Structure 1
C-alpha cells in the first residue's frame, strides 16, 4: 500500500496552478453575432411561370376569370405529368380540341391541381 500515492494530496506545480486559474476564468468570446439577416431563394417546381395558353402569369387569374371579375383563388393551376403548368380553365378548353401538352406536345395527363 505504500507504493500507492494519494493524488489529491499532491500539490500542483506553479504552471499547473496558473493553468487551473485560467480554466476557471470565463473565456473571452471570439466573436458575437449582433445582427443576422436570413436570405432565401425559391423557385417553382414546375418548368414554366406563365400559362402558355393565355400568356398570363400563373399566380394571376386566367383571361376568363379576369374578364368575369372572379378573384384569383377561384382560378387554380393544373400541373401535368410533364411538369408544365397552366390555368385549369385554359387547359380544360385546350383539351377539348387536342389531348397534348401545349409546350412539348406530349400526351396530357393531369398530375395535380393547385389552388393559388
Structure 2
C-alpha cells in the first residue's frame, strides 16, 4: 500500500482557553462590574493583578475593594443583609 502524503502541514498551533467561576451572581452588587473584570478602584489605578474576589459565607461574592469599602459603614452582606463573614476561598 502506498502512503499518501498530506498536502497540508501544520507548522504551529496557538491554543486559547477560557474559564469562569460558577457563580450565582456574576456582577459585583456594589460597583456593578462583572466579577471577572476589575473593580472601579483597580480600573482607576490600573492594578488588574490586585483585583481579587471576596466570598461571604452566605455564598455571595464581591470585589475585595468594594466589600472592604462597604464594610466601613455596614457589617452586613449587601445582598441578603446577613452579618458579613468572609469565606476563605482563593480563585484569583
TM range (shorter): 0.7 to 0.9
TM-score scaled by structure 1? 0.58
Matched, 1:51 2:37: no
Give the aligned length. 73
Which ranges in structure 1 are unaligned for 5 or more consecutive residues? 1-41
CA distance in 1, matches of 2:91, 2:46: 17
- Higher share of residues assigned helix: 1
Which ranges in structure 2 are unaligned for 5 or more consecutive residues? 1-19
Consecutive aligned runs of 4 or more in structure 1 exceeding 6 Å deviation? none
> 1:11-50 alignment to 2 at 5 Å?
44=22, 46-50=23-27
CA distance in 2, matches of 1:93, 1:57: 18
> 1:43: how far off?
5.8
> 1:1-116 alignment to 2 at 5 Å?
44=22, 46-71=23-48, 73-116=49-92
Say what the alpha-carbon RMSD is for the aligned residues: 1.6
Secondary structure of 1:64 counterpart? helix
> 1:74: how far off?
1.1
